[in-house]
Chains A and B, each alone.
Chain A
């Protein structure tokens, strides 16, 4: 179980012949993901890894395959076009790993997503994984183990930190999603919190936020109103200075908005269990959930 992806998910890779795309497509295949096709313009009718058919466009690939999800590694300048291609092809799940997409491009993508049949994860994210079933992204597969905790995060390695603890503590994970570090992303926490609340295998959710924007505040209000399962939260960037972009394009305190303290205040007020530092995330899950 878990959410969005499982062992039956058929995955397309856009940009499968590029350096990053080919490296990570192979890692996903090793993990057991059904990579059923790839797309690279002008590489149609070739095979990737002697086994995966490559097409010029998604439309061509769709004629031959049932596609449930796509993983995008297309370079930043062309990524928005690839995302919109996936939206128009009505691919149910779009996972965009690419970092550095211009914000104006993402505004157009968001507008296209709003009236579409697709759910989008990213960009600038590690992707999604349902432990022991399906990995669509660049996260190290081996740290994940099937279990009972759902993980949502705006970060990459910080998520691995949390997952590693959950696995070592014997809690394990259902599905882990890196939602992305950009100011405009396909979906925020709330989209996935809803799904975790409805997933019978997920017993608790870890939500890892960081400075910038107000997504954590909005998620906290949603949690208070709509969720029965315990949510454990962590915010990175308490010591980050205002006005500086801390690595992620979206991690910036601007005009006094997006501070860690505001986020923590909103989370605490709305019943989210706070982990004071990343080393106690698993411990906080145990306390909050009786798992």
Chain B
């Protein structure tokens, strides 16, 4: 799960990693007071949204007085921020972080991620602090250093030394640097992060290393051992339909097409979306209804799909393995009747009792069409929505 910069810094602070003093504000008046409380001549007003690339998009501004802080915060709160990572629809800014200024001598890029290929933890470093790492790796891959940490050995001092030498920092600062690296590594493991990106890490005029920005992705699967993960969820940052689907236990992702998809299994759901596209229509969503496609669950799924007004037709593709197809068909029919479904629906059921299921669907008096295979169903629904 994604979290905000201010939450990420809270986690780092809990691990004794120092960040600049800052105050979270939800309105311009609080921002005015925050400037006074911080009593720093220069502050940064930083939009808190779940997306990177804020600086270039106008989501990070400098203010030199309480009035200016208030005025910038006033403009920022409520604006729709469109960054390289938000997509064209952007994200509404609801909170800003007012942060004290610092004299920056040098900026670095540093991140920790899970390296899937080697099953290790990867430190990725670049001397081009403030730049997006994907850009640096495309243009000047030689300016990036990756240090892989074998989790059974853990981080050792030579790893930190390698990183220090790569940055070419003055020798007297080695102790501070290696302490920081080890605190970052510990926080990554202990808090079950999937990513920790510090861009930039700054060296200040007082010779201190400080994460100026911090982006953390937490591993949802570890929420059982970190109760605070739940408190860090910000539903304002998520697609409302996805939040609703999650609350009823459905795995749903909204896309911008017009064919609503209801499938069991994540891989089959993706393959169904792809096949719809192949036949000239576009999927409105990813939806995995899971193994128990009973009438109640199907009804819940219908309601989520129909809440997306772009949806012009629905494709149900269920592979009945453990669950029998005729039971799924009965559930689909009951759910559709119950909500008075009008949209055309192509139903493709494969597996145990698929033949009986197809007969039930055909004889249902609903606006249902049987798909004989995944491709046949995808073609039929695509033809329907394309007129």
Q: How far is the CA of A246 from the CA of B120 in the complex (A)?
A: 23
In the complex, which residue of chain B has the Cβ closest to the Cβ of A256?
B134
Known: A103-B192, A139-B321. A157 touches B274 (CB 8 A): no
Q: Does B196 contact A (CB under 8 A)?
A: no
Q: Does B373 contact A (CB under 8 A)?
A: yes
Q: How far is the CA of A284 from the CA of B82 in the complex (A)?
A: 44
Q: How far is the CA of A155 from the CA of B134 in the complex (A)?
A: 29
Question: Are B275 and A278 in contact, CB atoms less than 8 angstroms apart?
Answer: yes
Question: Are A157 and B119 in contact, CB atoms less than 8 angstroms apart?
Answer: no
How close is B251's CB to chain A, nearest CB, in angstroms?
A: 5
Q: Does A238 contact B (CB under 8 A)?
A: yes
In the complex, which residue of chain B has the Cβ closest to the Cβ of A75?
B224
How close is A182's CB to chain B, nearest CB, in angstroms?
A: 9
How close is B274's CB to chain A, nearest CB, in angstroms?
A: 4
Selected from B114, B224, B265, the residue in CB contact (under 8 A) with A158 is B265
How close is A139's CB to chain B, nearest CB, in angstroms?
A: 7
Q: Does B225 contact A (CB under 8 A)?
A: yes
Q: How far is the CA of A184 from the CA of B374 in the complex (A)?
A: 30
Total chain B interface residues with beta-carbon distance under 8 A: 54
Question: Are A142 and B352 in contact, CB atoms less than 8 angstroms apart?
Answer: yes
Q: How far is the CA of A247 from the CA of B277 in the complex (A)?
A: 19
**Across-interface contacts of A277 in B (CB, < 8 A):** 271, 274-275, 278, 374-375, 378
Question: Are A248 and B266 in contact, CB atoms less than 8 angstroms apart?
Answer: yes
Digitize B134-177: 1 where CB-to-A-CB distance is under 8 Å, 0 elsewhere: 10000000000000001110000000000000000000000000
Q: Does A263 contact B (CB under 8 A)?
A: no
- Give me 27 A-to-B residue pairs in the complex whose CB atoms sit less than 8 angstroms apart, sorted by A's number: A100-B221, A103-B194, A103-B221, A107-B114, A107-B151, A108-B151, A110-B151, A111-B152, A142-B352, A155-B267, A155-B268, A156-B265, A157-B263, A157-B321, A160-B319, A161-B271, A161-B319, A161-B374, A181-B267, A212-B116, A236-B268, A239-B277, A247-B267, A247-B269, A248-B267, A250-B116, A255-B133
In addition to A156-B267, A246-B269, 16 A-B residue pairs with Cβ atoms within 8 Å of each other are A76-B224, A108-B151, A138-B322, A157-B264, A160-B321, A161-B350, A184-B119, A214-B116, A239-B273, A239-B282, A246-B286, A248-B267, A251-B270, A260-B274, A277-B271, A278-B271
Interface residues of B (CB under 8 A from A): 85, 114, 116-117, 119-121, 133-134, 150-152, 189, 192, 194, 219-222, 224-225, 251, 253, 255, 263-271, 273-278, 282-283, 286, 288, 319, 321-322, 350-352, 373-376, 378
The 10 A-B residue pairs with the shortest CB-CB distance in the complex, in nearest-first order? A155-B267, A247-B266, A157-B265, A140-B321, A111-B152, A279-B375, A158-B267, A102-B222, A236-B270, A110-B119
